[in-house]
Amino acid sequence: MPTEILGANLGHQRIAGASKGVACTTTAAFTPFHQGTEHIDIVPRNLSTAVVVKYAFCPYLIILKADSADGLGGHLEDNTQVAQDGSTDTSVTLSGFAAGRALYVGSAIPFRGAHVDVDGANSTGSTVITVSYWNGSEWVDTGDTDGTSSSVSLDRDGAITWTVPSAWELSTLGKLASAAGESLDSSGQKYKDTNMYWTKWTWNQNMDAAVTLDHILGINES
């Protein structure tokens, strides 16, 4: 049989996803990789019919939670790692998240949404999300479709998606803050000068006291 030699340290190996693998269904499954992953094996098993398996690598997201209504001028809590670390022991906490406060979600490349694994569900009536993109001069509503809503936003797992805007422009946090007349808080300095495709997520109601998200994973452009 053929032999392939990889000039790399494969290191410690762990299964990602379900304990016996990710089931093949017509519904897309989203699998976060453990932090520090350098090598991935995709091993199909026991396919008994003419099954087509497709996979795609999705963009890594930067996820910043504004701790006040001051937007980029207030403290930005970096949830990038906990939202994408493949662990249910760490969560993005939106308990009591006030209406108008924002999640700033960005990536180095355009993306058409994110899959959200809701652990503690929201129950506040009439909660609706608005996802906006930056067109170079202002935030514009993407007209997103919220798959996390059976009756209110974030009451179930699902994908929040939109059509990738042709007018979406790269920007830095520094430029976004300046355009809003805000002085970027020191907690955002890490990304101050990094050009990214940013989105701004806001909800029109206060979240209830138990909302937590196990993951927020990017969905690729195509």
For 73-84, the pLDDT digits (tens) are 999 999 999 999
179 backbone dihedrals φ, ψ, rounded to 5°: -65, -30
* Number of other CB atoms surrounding residue 30 within 10 Å: 18
Reduce the DSSP state of residue 186 to 3 states and report it. Answer: helix
CA–CA distance, 152 with 126 (Å, rounded to integer): 6
CA–CA distance, 7 with 89 (Å, rounded to integer): 33
* Residue 75 or residue 31, greater confidence: 75
Span 202-215, average pLDDT? 96
Amino acid at 128: V
Note the pLDDT of residue 197.
Answer: 98
Choose the weakest-confidence range: 10-14, 119-123, 169-173, 198-202. 10-14
Q: Is the pLDDT of residue 209 over 90?
A: yes
Task: State pLDDT tens for residues 117-172.
Answer: 999 999 999 999 999 999 999 999 999 999 999 999 999 999 999 999 999 999 99
Banded pLDDT at 19 (limits 50, 70, 90): low
Provide the whole-model pTM.
0.89
**Is 21 in contact with 45 (CB distance < 8 Å)?**
yes
CB < 8 Å & 24+ apart, contacts of 27-33: 28/115, 28/159, 30/58, 30/115, 30/117, 30/215, 30/217, 31/86, 32/84, 32/85, 32/86, 32/215, 32/217, 33/86
Q: What letter would DSSP give residue 93? A: E
Amino acid at 103: L
* Residue 102 or residue 46, greater confidence: 102
* Residue 116 or residue 49, greater confidence: 116
CA–CA distance, 93 with 189 (Å, rounded to integer): 22
CA–CA distance, 13 with 140 (Å, rounded to integer): 43
Task: State pLDDT tens for residues 35-65.
Answer: 777 778 787 777 777 778 888 889 999 999 9
Q: What share of the chain in percent tops pLDDT 90?
A: 69
